[in-house]
A and B are shown apart, each in its own frame.
Chain A
Amino acid sequence: DAGVIQSPRHEVTEMGQEVTLRCKPISGHNSLFWYRQTMMRGLELLIYFNNNVPIDDSGMPEDRFSAKMPNASFSTLKIQPSEPRDSAVYFCASSTRTGGHEQYFGPGTRLTVT
């Protein structure tokens, strides 16, 4: 089975530009999570969805960040406008809501904002 798929794997953009990160969760998983990882702050949960509904977005840093999950197989994280401090690796993860709830992570998107 395919794991969590993220695109693009690398993104370099200029400050002020809009950035859209994409995620396809594992088929059958009904929870989806967006994380950000930096050296300074480690792994931070930004937002998560259950059954396509946002449950907790308290980790979203600012209004510049938004996330959507229009269906069970696709989610986006958008940054508009981007700033250099947004440079990080963004991970998407998915899990079931039964059993152990372990999350399976995608390969991440390395974002660089210049």
Chain B
Amino acid sequence: AQKVTQAQTEISVVEKEDVTLDCVYETRDTTYYLFWYKQPPSGELVFLIRRNSFDEQNEISGRYSWNFQKSTSSFNFTITASQVVDSAVYFCALRGSEAAGNKLTFGGGTRVLVKP
């Protein structure tokens, strides 16, 4: 069975602070994919990033960065110099091997509130 745990339910920061969202996953597959999605107050789910299990390079995109560590089964997400527009619920998700089907297992989400 696959499982994604986002232990932080809500994080509140002041603008310009950095915020790190934790994601821990469980899977028996050797090949898998990890994702982060953003759900702003308007409600849509926006794809942010995908990472393959065989690629442990960290990634930076503007103020966003992701730290993938297979040894600890974690795929953490950091927002640097947060802005009010970053206020949203962020979901981590896992997709296993093709044999396991191509559905995503989502974590419970972390609500980020950035105060001005």
Contact = CB atoms under 8 A, between A and B. Distances in A.
A28 interface: no
B27 to A, nearest CB: 15
Interface in B27-76: 33, 35, 37, 43-47, 50, 52
A2 to B, nearest CB: 14
Given A102-B33, A105-B44, A108-B43, 12 more contacts: A43-B109, A48-B101, A56-B101, A93-B45, A100-B33, A101-B33, A104-B47, A106-B44, A107-B43, A107-B44, A108-B44, A108-B45
B104 to A, nearest CB: 6
A97 interface: yes
Interface residues of A, number: 24
A8 to B, nearest CB: 14
A102 B48 CA distance: 10
A103 B44 contact: no
Contacts of A93: 45
B104 A45 contact: yes
Contacts of A91: 45
Interface in A37-73: 42-43, 45, 48, 50, 55-56
B103 to A, nearest CB: 5
Given A42-B108, A43-B91, A95 B43 contact: no
A21 interface: no
Nearest to B37: A105
Contacts of B90: none
A89 interface: yes
Nearest to B104: A103
A89 B43 contact: yes
Contacts of A101: 33, 50, 95, 102
B44 A50 contact: no
Nearest to A43: B106
Given A91-B45, A105-B45, A31 B102 contact: yes
Contacts of B33: 100-102
A69 to B, nearest CB: 15
Residue from the set A50, A103, A104 with the largest chain B CB neighbour count within 10 Å: A103
B44 to A, nearest CB: 5
